[in-house]
Amino acid sequence: MIAIISSTFKEVIRKKTFIVMGIITILFIIFWAVILNYFQDAHLSEKNVTFNSLASIVLTQTVLQFSSMLMCLITIVLGAGAIASELENGMIHAILSRPLDRMEYIFGKLFGLSILIAAYATALFTTILLIGRIYSLDTITMLTFDQVFEGWIFYTLVPLILLSLTICGSIRLKMISNGLLMIFIYILGNIGGMVEMIGNYLNNKAMDSSGIFLSLISPFHTLYTTAEGILLPSSGLTGEVMRVTGGLTGRGQPASSVMFIYIIIYTLGFIALAISKFRKIDINS
């Protein structure tokens, strides 16, 4: 299995897609620094404390949401063809000709991509916070170590849970088809958050239930909003603004422990399904 993890690393790093996404990430970080530089100048000249506080919230919320979307896009791009491409080009015959169980192959692919994605998410998360701290952004400087650590865990879990679904889809679907399907499912979660937020605001149980149903199909947004809730203020005027606006993709009620148990079952279920499907697939067809 270690050989599969190693080959997955090498395969991903060699891809032009990986290099392009790396460049996009660097440009995103530069853009974040430039925005904060302009904000700092405006912040120093603006005496309205309430406005500055709300602006800090909006800036932080926006960069976290965009960075999470970027992570998930990279996860889909790298994972959509992880198995499908080797089935299509026949490479799978050489791999499985070795004394390697098919379950080990799936776990090798999953662990290899998970380590890479977790490292990327950690680097991106850390860089965002460091730049925010350098520019003395209120929402960043007020964070405690516990908040940063808990926020990082949920922030990193978003693409990792998405990866389990993407790997499962890669067994039966071709890379482009799988990628498009994963993007659609990911977007469903964001729509669910927006629908649930509107349902809560209008006190409409039907809309609220619809949003929760979409979140069950696509629980990734639930993990992200949990991370956001840990990292951003939840009380006072700024907390009220967050509850009303919900950022770019909306947010419903805080997730319950039952929802987190469901997400664990969701993840393990798709990993088990991937193993089951791959065991049954005829690689010679």
In this structure, is residue 206 part of a structural domain?
A: yes
Q: Which ranges constitute the DSSP H helices of 47-144? A: 49-79, 84-89, 91-96, 102-134, 138-141
Contact 266, 220 (CB under 8 A): no
Higher local confidence (pLDDT), 266 or 210: 266
Distance CA 22, CA 4 (A): 23
Q: Is the pLDDT of residue 240 over 80?
A: no
Q: In total, how many domains does the chain have?
A: 1
Q: What is the pLDDT of residues 212-221, one digit of tens each?
A: 888 899 999 9
Q: Is the pLDDT of residue 259 over 70?
A: yes
Q: Is the pLDDT of residue 184 over 70?
A: yes
In this structure, is residue 285 part of a structural domain?
A: no
In this structure, is residue 145 part of a structural domain?
A: yes
Higher local confidence (pLDDT), 129 or 93: 129
Q: Which of 6-15, 27-36, 134-143, 183-192 has the lowest mean pLDDT?
A: 6-15
Contact 156, 125 (CB under 8 A): yes
Q: How confident is the model at residue 254 (pLDDT cuts 50, 70, 90)?
A: confident
Q: Which of 45-49, 126-130, 155-159, 193-197 has the lowest mean pLDDT?
A: 45-49
Domain with 223, as residue range(s), is 2-280
Contact 112, 5 (CB under 8 A): yes
Q: Is the pLDDT of residue 235 over 70?
A: no
In this structure, is residue 269 part of a structural domain?
A: yes
Distance CA 51, CA 139 (A): 13
Q: What is the pLDDT of residues 35-71, one digit of tens each?
A: 988 877 665 555 555 566 777 888 888 899 999 999 9
How far the first Cα of the chain sits from its last, in Å, is 25
Q: Is the pLDDT of residue 206 over 80?
A: yes
- Pick from 282, 273, 278, 284: which is nearest to 104 by CA? 278
